[in-house]
Amino acid sequence: MSKGTNRALTWNIAQAKGLQEVLKSNLGPTGTMKLLVSGGGEIRITKDGARLLSEMQIQVPTAQLIARSATAIDDEFGDGTSSVCLVTAEILKSAEKYLAEGVHPRVIVEGIKYGAEHALNVLDEITLPVKDKPEYLEGVVRTALTTKLDKKMAVNMTSMIVDALNIIKVKDTPLDLHMVEVMHMNHKQAAETALVRGLVLDHGPRHPDMPRDLKNCFILTCNVSLEYEKSEVNASFSFATPEQRDRLVASERKLTDEACQKIIALKRQVCKDDSQHFIVINQKGIDPLSLDQLAKEGIMGLRRAKKRNMERLALACGGVAVNSVDDLTEAVLGKAGHVYCQTLGEDTFTFIEDVQNPNSCTLLVKGSSNHIIGQVKDAIRDGLRAGKHGLEGNGVVCGGGGFELTAQRRLEEICQKKAAEVGKITPGIRCLADGLLVIPKILSQNSGFDAQQTVAQVGAMCTDGIVMGIDVDTGLPIDCASEGILDNACVKRQIVSSASVISTQLLLVDDVMVAGKAGTPTGPVG
């Protein structure tokens, strides 16, 4: 480093390179895993960049800044976390050699900004529309899943996630991923994870005499208290005869019993014969006496349902969630072909299936351990977000490092053919080009191939609008669009934008200071 390069900048670059060393082996479908051990002894094996960055104990401020920016991208798009960290660190690493030659950080920053604009222009040129191309949507989801799960499971999971997205899709309405319930059961193998075209509730009926397997069901979803509630004011009552006590008890339960009788009357009205059944799913409580009344009528009653499930029930089964039992009609009821309970250890699950035209569904994750279930749920979360942005028409680009190779070649051409125009900011443009090139390099390294040879071979074919990626199985160029290896264009846009912004801000830092006023105590006194 030259004398003009300040110590804070050297320190920031070293921290970014340290974070890159940790994350680079996890990139891509052939990346390795990390073993996370918490202070309480909990163990998790993962390669998900967002999970690693959120649970790792990062002490140094520069690495924390990069990690927080990267995890913010994952919260929105479900992908691109590791790539942001790797590209940012590589830009800073490339800038280090120019700084050593005496190039001012401001000049490099201007070049990075100029290069980012042209890289985003390349992205717009090679973006493929998803509309009327369902195979592109499957490709985006499968690519997101393949980096978290093994290939066979990712392929099986892709069709489930695409079906789930199509189920909750409503015309002219933004997708609400909360309408896909991700439920898990510590049971069987992860490969038996299934899509339920209905709902799975994590509780069952609380009365032993209630039916547990019904077909051709009417479903009443309500938010009504069906339990005796004590008065807010303490009072005492005295009675002289058993008859007076019975009248007292009856008057205390009058409102609750009347509500139950109204539900029972509706059941008798809509259930014409024994082939039809009635189910009550209540957000509030149902006390034992009310449960007993419902059980005597053959009604399955579920209490304390989650508020989110009440929304899902209305979308999955139809009907309306009611807040009062007055004026109940058949129009407020939903319908399901099959409702049954399954007990697993001490847990009971209620399956609501065979619903017509559902707009909500459940992905039921199975696995033999919490670790496996956690891995699959993380992958499903990322796959749902990737598919959501694909469906919303943001466009897709070739994966396998295809965009990065194409953008890098474009930036190199600008440096060579427009040297007089770009002038002194050329080093900054080359820094961004080198930063983008790190993605295909690490992909080939993690796949066991020579990075220089593979990148040169594939990059040579990315000309005249042709975009090729790296086949991680053979190391040869591959047409990613036809093979379904695709990434969301919005994710690539965020990677370029975030990496360029973070790196330029860090390059302009010339000192690191402790915040807080002088003389202010930093901890408890005494």
Q: Smallest Cα–Cα separation from 157: which of 111, 193, 199, 211? A: 193
Q: Are 477 and 455 in contact (CB under 8 A)?
A: no
Supply the pLDDT for residue 119. Answer: 92
Q: What is the DSSP letter of 197?
A: S
| Rg, Å, the chain Cα set | 30
pLDDT for res 519: 54
Q: For 163-183, write each residue's pLDDT tens digit.
A: 999 888 888 788 888 888 888
pLDDT value at residue 232 = 63
Q: Which two tokens stand for residue 285?
A: 């409580």
Question: What pLDDT digit, counting tens, does each position of 361-409 carry?
Answer: 889 898 888 888 888 888 898 889 888 888 887 788 988 888 899 898 8
**Structure tokens given for 378:** 């993380």
Three-state secondary structure readout of 227-267: CCCCCCCCCCCCCCCHHHHHHHHHHHCHHHHHHHHHHHHHH
Return the pLDDT at 29: 87
pLDDT digits (tens, 9 = 90+) for 482-491: 888 888 888 8
pLDDT above 80: residue 6: no
Evaluated on CA atoms 325, 330, 336, 339, the torsion sign reads positive
Q: Hey, what amino acid is at 129? A: P
Q: CA-CA distance, 199 to 384, in Å (whole number)? A: 17
pLDDT digits (tens, 9 = 90+) for 105-134: 899 999 999 999 999 999 998 888 887 788
Angle, alpha carbons 415-419-420 (nearest 5°): 155
DSSP-assigned letters across all residues of 469-520: EE-TTTSSEE-HHHHT-EEEHHHHHHHHHHHHHHHHHHHT-------S-TT-
CA dist., res. 294 & res. 279, Å (int): 9
Q: Residue 20 in 3-state DSSP?
A: helix
Provide the pLDDT for residue 518.
58
Q: Between 212 and 239, whose confidence is greater?
A: 212
**245, two tokens:** 């006590």
Instruction: Decide if 82 contacts 27 (C-beta within 8 A).
Output: yes
**For 150-162, what is each residue's pLDDT tens digit?**
888 888 899 999 9
Angle at 142 between CA 139 and CA 145, to 5 degrees: 150
pLDDT at 58 over 80: yes
Instruction: Give the type of residue at 100.
Output: A
Mean pLDDT, the chain, rounded, equals 85
Q: What angle do CA 397, 401, 406 make, to 5 degrees?
A: 75
pLDDT at residue 520 above 70?
no
Is the pLDDT confidence value at 2 over 50?
Answer: no
2: three-class secondary structure by DSSP: coil
Cβ-based neighbours of 223, under 8 Å, separated by 6 or more: 282, 283, 284, 310, 321, 322, 323
- How confident is the model at residue 500, as a pLDDT? 92
Question: Six-digit token pair at 229?
Answer: 């509630």
pTM exceeding 0.85: no
Residue 364's closest CA among 180, 162, 196?
A: 196
Per-residue pLDDT tens over the stretch 22-41: 888 888 888 888 888 877 77
Tell me the average pLDDT across 266-285: 89
Q: Which of 13, 14, 84 lies closest to 49, judged by CA?
A: 84
CA distance 287 to 228: 7
Residues 6+ apart with CB under 8 A from 399: 143, 469, 480, 485, 486, 487
The closest of 376, 449, 1 to 189, measured between CA atoms, is 376
318 three-state secondary structure: coil
Which residue(s) pair with 199 in the sheet? 352
Kindly state the tokens that stand for 228. 């005796």
3-class SS at 326?
A: coil
358: CB partners within 8 A, 6+ apart? 167, 197, 198, 315, 316, 317
CB distance 234 to 329 below 8 Å: no
Burial status of residue 241 (CB atoms within 10 A of its CB: 0-12, 13-18, 19 or more): exposed
What's the pLDDT at 4?
A: 40
CA–CA separation, 39 vs 54, rounded Å? 15
